[in-house]
Amino acid sequence: MTIRIRLRATSHPYRLQNRFVSSPIIDLPVRANTISCDMSDSTLLTAEAQRRRTFAVISHPDAGKSTLTEALALHARAITEAGAIHGKAGRRSTVSDWMEMEKARGISITSTALQFPYRDCVINLLDTPGHADFSEDTYRVLTAVDCAVMLIDAAKGLEPQTLKLFQVCKHRGIPIITVINKWDRPGRHALELMDEIHERIGLRTAPLTWPVGIAGDFKGVLDRRSGEFIRFTRTAGGATAAPEEHIAAADAGAAAGVDWETAVEESELLSADGSDYDRDAFLSGESSPVLFTSAALNFGVNQLLDMLVSLAPSPGGAVDVEGTRRPVESPFSAFVFKVQAGMDSSHRDRIAYARVISGTFERGDVLTHAATGKPFVTKYAQSVFGQQRSTLDDAWPGDVIGLANAAALRPGDTLYRDVPVQFPPIPSFSPEYFAVARNVDPSKHKQFRKGIEQLDQEGVVQVLRSDKRGEQAPVLAAVGPMQFEVATHRMATEIGAAISLESLPYQVARIVDPEDAEFVNRQVSAEVLTRTDGVMLVLFSTPWRLEGFQRDNPSITLRSLVAADG
């Protein structure tokens, strides 16, 4: 028999027998008249890992990822009012869109991590940018999650960027939860959307809820497991959690009339068609549970949270470079998936985001940085919530640790304790846009150099150099032109060294071996530059030039970089 106790604490973390634990609720075994406290490290570690849900929200731009992220935090009571954090200027800025440019344009440029408790679970949620130009950032996040919530705009269906991200998830074996969002707006028929998903990407859909009312007239959902009607009520501006009423199936007809009858009929059709939820099919990526929401009105958000808790996988370790799985119970290991500076203008520091793969973490632990073999002290570990940070004392598999002042860490790096491990690096995408950056104000020479180095380390752009162009004229390389806008904006506002950019007439990059570099560099419409990591890239003006070169020089091997469309 076990007894469940709740630890009393005025602040996080909670303390039990000189141990810090991150949850106040603990199950203890009871023997005879005593309570023996079985808090061995491995029991606690397994329990903490099992209650983590670490997932990314992905989709084409504008489907509502940041709005949904905010709604999830609101329903889990991690924030009190959606949109409240950034004032009343509509719902354009959310807790995850904190960057000045993001607020101004209402789009996400960089991914953001939020952590909050919900029921007995700890949710680690990563909001990603949808715009293709920032897909490298989204891709990095997908290396750090156990599950993805794929958002689909009810009026638009599957859009190009969603398709690409779906392929990345499929390739990485990440199970997908599908959310049909914006059901409060006129849109497509629900059954038609299910067909589209199945036909175009081969994913079987298993709706857990089904909308009552067509798109544009969202009354509530039919909970396909309990058979109940969950009726939603609007709140002013969707700023607070939407009240919901659970109505038994027998009374739902009276409450929602013909819309209820239609929902029931369609749900029966789905069952007849084999579209019922199956856990193995979900975890293997063959099928996807589906929910219907309006993130802006906070409809269907509770159902998504409950679903994440009950169905989404908990952390299961990760495979290292040798192909061996590091289970969660192993000594501590973590994987850096993102580096971000400029989050706090008063500090100007960089944060490396590390996802815990195995073991426990306590602030101050001395880890090993696998890339250099050097010790890494974690005195400045922080937990992140959008732009806000607080001191982090412990972390468990699935959690995201923000490591401040971690100049040595790059995306793709591994940190470990005791038993060495190295996780696979994150491949960088093939750039298609190139521009020479120049410092506008010669007196800002030092800031210019440091700023370019910082943007490079964060992966905002890739930085290429050559002896011919010199240190003063680095070439910035990007997957999409908006990355240049971000680089220019941040150099001027955050780093204080305005730059001018001159586009270069290249469209394709290939890796070239150093021994061939000189020969390749002599070709017309081609230029060889060295990336900061030492890799030599040759740039060609057009794909046809590249093809022609390869045809004329079959003995020279040029290797492709990872394409942005996965």
Ligand X SMILES: Nc1nc2c(ncn2[C@@H]2O[C@H](COP(=O)(O)OP(=O)(O)OP(=O)(O)O)[C@@H](O)[C@H]2O)c(=O)[nH]1
* List 149, 296, 406, 528, residue binding ligand X (CB under 6 A): 296
Q: Could you give the CA distance from residue 560 to residue 156 in angstroms, rounded to a whole number? A: 33
Per DSSP (E only), the strands in 479-535 are 499-503, 508-512, 526-531
Cβ neighbours, 10 Å, residue 248:
11
Give min distance, CB of 105 to ligand X, in A. 8
- Quote the CA–CA distance of 549 and 547 in Å, as a whole number: 5
Of 132 and 318, the one with the shorter C-beta distance to ligand X is 132
Q: 62, 137, 223, 413: which one contacts ligand X (CB under 6 A)?
A: 62
Q: Please, which of residues 109-138 interact with ligand X by CB under 6 A?
A: 129-131
Binding mask 165-204 for ligand X (x = CB under 6 A): ----------------xx-xx-------------------
Residues touching ligand X, count (CB under 6 A): 22
Q: Is 219 in the site for ligand X (CB under 6 A)?
A: no
Which of residues 102 and 399 has its CB atom nearest to ligand X in the complex?
102
H or E segment at 134? none
Cβ-proximal residues to 563 (8 Å cutoff; 6+ apart), any chain:
429, 430
Nearest Cα neighbor of 361 from 395, 321, 407 is 395
Q: 365 touches which of Mg ion, ligand X, none (CB within 5 to 8 A by kind)?
A: none
Query: Which of 64, 175 has the CB closer to ligand X?
Result: 64
Side chain identity, residue 457: Q
Residue with tokens 């009339």: 257
Residue 62 interacts with which of Mg ion, ligand X, none, CB < 5 to 8 Å by class: ligand X
Q: Name the strands in the sheet holding 508-512, side by side, starting at the edge strand that comes first in the sequence.
A: 499-503, 433-439, 475-478, 462-465, 526-531, 536-540, 508-512, 558-559
Give least dist CB 63 to ligand X, A: 5
Contact with ligand X (CB under 6 A) among 63, 193, 308, 395: 63
Min separation Cβ 352 and ligand X, Å? 23
CA distance 334 to 299: 35
| Least separation in angstroms between CB 70 and ligand X | 8
Q: Is 108 in the site for ligand X (CB under 6 A)?
A: yes
Q: Where are the alpha helices (DSSP H) in 143-248?
A: 160-172, 190-201
Residue 58: partners with Cβ closer than 8 Å, 6 or more residues away: 65, 128, 130, 138, 142, 148, 149, 150, 151, 162, 165, 169
CB of 131 to Mg ion, least distance (A): 9
Which CB sits closer to ligand X, 115 or 181? 181
- Smaller CB separation from ligand X, 107 or 478: 107
Binding site for Mg ion (CB under 5 A): 65-66, 108
Phi, psi of 543 (to 5 degrees): -60, -30
Residue 296 interacts, among Mg ion, ligand X, none and using kind-specific CB cut-offs from 5 to 8 Å, with ligand X
Is the dihedral angle over the CA atoms 540, 543, 546, 548 positive or is it negative? negative
What is the gyration radius of the CA atoms in the chain, in angstroms? Answer: 25
99 binds ligand X (CB under 6 A): no
Choose the stretch contacting ligand X; rule: CB under 6 A; options: 57-65, 354-362, 377-385, 536-544.
Answer: 57-65
Residue 54 binding ligand X, by CB under 6 A: no
**In whole angstroms, how close is the CB of 206 to ligand X at the nearest point?**
22
Pairing, β 176-181 against β 147-153: parallel
**Residue found under tokens 């504008």:** 62
177 vs 497, beta carbon nearer Mg ion: 177
CA 300 from chain center: how many Å? 21
Classify residue 149 as exposed, middle or buried by CB count within 10 Å of its CB (0-12, 13-18, 19+): buried
For residue 103, state whether it binds ligand X (rule: CB under 6 A).
no
Nearer to ligand X, 63 or 336 (CB): 63
Minimum CB separation of residue 151 from ligand X in Å reads 6
Give the separation between CA 212 and CA 255, rounded to whole angstroms.
11
Minimum CB separation from Mg ion for residue 478, in Å? 20
Closest CB to Mg ion among 58 and 190? 58
Closer to ligand X by CB, 67 or 143: give it. Answer: 67
Nearest residue to ligand X, by Cβ distance, number only: 130
Considering the complex, state which of residue 108 and residue 483 has its C-beta at the smaller distance from Mg ion: 108
Those residues whose C-beta lies under 8 Å from the C-beta of residue 255, and which sit 6 or more positions away, are 229, 231, 247
Q: Which stretch binds ligand X (CB under 6 A): 74-82, 101-109, 186-194, 517-525?
A: 101-109
The footprint of ligand X (CB under 6 A) covers 59, 61-67, 91, 106-108, 129-131, 181-182, 184-185, 294-296
